[in-house]
Amino acid sequence: MSRQLLKYGFLPENKCAFFLCDLQENFRKAVIYFDNIVDSANKLVKTSKILNIPLVVTEQYPKGLGRTVQELDISHAVGVYPKTRFSMLEPQVVNHLGSLCSSQLECVVLFGIEAHVCIEQTAAELSARGIQVHVVADACSSRSQEDRLLAFQRLKQIGCFITTTENVIFKLIKDKEHPKFGDVRLLIKTPTPETGLMYFSKM
């Protein structure tokens, strides 16, 4: 797929990876819309498995902050990487960037927490490497709505697409005749829960 098409938000299924950032148990009570964010993230995690899209998972200082929430089955992830850096691009992840896809990695679908810290810094580093980033707003959150929504504004400024769970899924499927459409359709049968994004649309 040409760089020109990527600029318009296309998601090539064979040149894409999903990055799940730090959705850990100890953040549950602190992060707004946490349970709804997990619900959206769960659809994306399952989509990555159905479509055989590489899933990269990080956990921020898991010894102190716990592991990825149990609602998410990440057993098919290419790796679950502990980190202390805020960006997901710690050395082990960087070493795998070139081998994630059968062809060159061109797009990353990014989701998790916190939008204004780990998500933003990861997106900036990926963008600097020439990788188009799609930040899934209804699967990202922070401890405050102000930090979350202003992060989305900054992410737009650096060239990221601010998107939603269903938008990502339909862009990957592209056609009702996709061989996996029946499996994915079950995920989108239930509408995505409210995560306060109506405020973002007014900014």
> Tens digits of per-residue pLDDT, 116-175?
999 999 999 999 999 999 999 999 999 999 999 999 999 999 999 999 999 999 999 988
Q: The tokens 């990055």 sit on which residue?
A: 19
* Fold topology of 3-8+15-201: Rossmann fold (3.40.50)
Identify the residue with better confidence: 101 or 21: 21
pLDDT in tens, 52-82: 999 999 999 999 999 999 999 999 999 999 9
Report the pLDDT averaged over residues 95-116.
90
Q: What angle is formed at CA 60 by the lines to CA 164 and CA 125, rounded to 5 degrees?
A: 60
- The rounded Cα 36 to chain-centroid distance in angstroms is 14
* pLDDT the model gives residue 184: 87
Residue 170: per-residue pLDDT? 94
For residues 97, 103, 106 and 107, what is the CA-based torsion angle, rounded to 10 degrees? -80
Catalytic residues: 22, 83, 118
